[in-house]
Structure 1
């Protein structure tokens, strides 16, 4: 089922059916593939990993910032990745360079971030889940909208965070919708820069602490800076 049809279906699901993230653990891998370089999924291509575990054969380097060259998968604008397990031996998980669909992607042990959204357009993250994220699971550095539906998070700092200090933040419009997410052993579901106009909508999520945390974001085009917490959103 493609992401648009999944979203249309979920719109008709009664609100009583909250927090639908799968709680049965990471699916059993059908095999393991260690990549020497990122695997690119081209524009318009759909790649079904058939529940193989993919990694890069390297140990995580903690919260040190990596780049595209360190990713396991790189999705070009309009690409779709589905039914995949990202193993622990990697640094940067999945990068999305524009609009993309990430369907039923599981992360056994998040390194710096699980999913980095780098471009413009709408990203749909449907199902799947992530474990052991010391900070963020989904990092939104690009501009545009993100749908996060029926995701599962266990042991995390933030499920979604819009970039707090990226260059161009003052002119980059970001929004997120989070629905049916199940989160345990963690902090914030959503973190957005309320002072910069980021928008968040959310419904039917289960979480232990904060659903939406506002931040005072900044734009390091004018020099180094760091965001600070604001009120709830």
Structure 2
């Protein structure tokens, strides 16, 4: 499901991505985030948010090696990539918006993926088949989506640290049930940061939590949720850079469906039920 997106012309975009994205983070004085405790696990509630100075990474990591991936890497358990760059081969897709592209990594229920750089073209990024943790994963050029989350009611998905840039549409796609928490994360040049699927054949009540996150324009919205299925999106300590006119919508509400039709937009107000935030939760720079 695609949506209009204000884009930088391609000739300028590549040159700006590294300088603007890394530079914007560096000028805020942010330092590397503290690593979450291994004892928490993907099914635990996120730890109390640290201050912004202790969270977002100041710059992208230097790749320690580079591997071309011609077949999806299956992760069952914990996978630490050691900051290797994994570059999708043409067998996985072309990095556009075609729905039939394959992921670079497929993470099994209860698995974790950490310290991975996903190179260009991003194809369909990462698929979580159930509760999972993605820690310090870096998407250099998002393809169809950076990550897609699947699983039944009660699933717990955690994205902690890392960053993503360059998407015509979504960064994270929440297709399963349960809660998706994105924290200590940065994103630039995208349409929607997190979308609760608006027209999947199986629908759930979904919870989205976005905390200690920094986004840089161009972008359209932070979260899209389906109010008719009881979804909610909560925002804490979010910084938006380069949106002087405040055109980026924090929380877009929809009437979702299971028929594949385009969902209807219903509003963007903070209502305490579906869109949960106050003015102090979002800072503009």
Q: Does 1:204 align with 2:237?
A: yes
Distance 1:10 1:205 in 2: 17
More strand by share: 1
Using CA pairs under 8 Å that are at least 6 residues apart, name the structure with larger relative contact order, 1 or 2.
1
> Radius of gyration: which is bigger?
2
Residues 92, 61 of structure 1: CA spacing in aligned structure 2 closer, same or farther, 3 A cutoff?
same
**Cα distance change on mapping 1:103 and 1:230 into 2, 3 Å:** same
Provide TM-score, normalisation by structure 1: 0.87
Q: Which residue of structure 2 aligns with residue 187 of structure 1?
A: 220
The residue that corresponds to 2:87 in the other structure is: 55
User: Are 1:162 and 2:196 an aligned pair?
Assistant: yes
How much does 1:61 deviate? 4.4
1:225 and 2:233 aligned: no
Q: Runs of 4 or more off by more than 4 Å in structure 1? A: 5-10
1: distance between equivalents of 2:266 and 2:54? 26
- Residue matched to 2:130: 98
Gaps in structure 1 of 5+ consecutive residues: none
Deviations 1:176-208 (A, max 9, x none): 111000001112111111122111111100124
- CA-based RMSD of the aligned residues comes to 2.2
Distance in 1 (CA, whole Å) between partners of 2:53 and 2:239 is 7
CA distance in 1, matches of 2:54, 2:141: 22
Unaligned runs of 5+ in 2: 1-35, 269-274, 276-285
CA 1:74 to 1:168, structure 2 compared with 1: closer, same or farther past 3 Å? same
